[in-house]
Amino acid sequence: MKTKHARTLAAIFAKPTLGSIVFADIEALVKSLGGDVIEREGSRVKILLDGQEWRCHRPHPGKEARRYQVEEAREFFERAGVKP
């Protein structure tokens, strides 16, 4: 895993939950771990990793994931067996 992806994963698991993680970095982390990011209607995306699924919306107009999205990402990675 590249250093940038390791930093993103550490930021996702940081407590208190950060609201400054760029959503594209989360997508890049998923892809680097062998997962898929599937485009859906509008800003919707379906993210798949190791048999786990997370459906969410890309943030807009900003690019940073909101705190609740970071918490959902943390739960998603835990279900997929990925931890920092």
Residue 48 lies in a domain: yes
pLDDT of 84: 87
CB hemisphere CA count around 48 (13 angstroms) = 5
Q: What is the pTM of this model?
A: 0.93
| Number of domains the chain contains | 1
Q: Is residue 84 part of a domain?
A: no
How is residue 22 annotated by DSSP? B
- Per-residue pLDDT of 37-75, as tens digits, reads 999 999 999 999 999 999 999 999 999 999 999 999 999
With 80 as the cut, is the pLDDT of residue 1 above it? no
Q: Which residue segment(s) compose the domain that 26 sits in?
A: 3-79
> Is residue 75 a part of any domain in this protein?
yes
pLDDT of residue 7: 96
Residue 76: alpha-carbon gap to chain centroid: 8
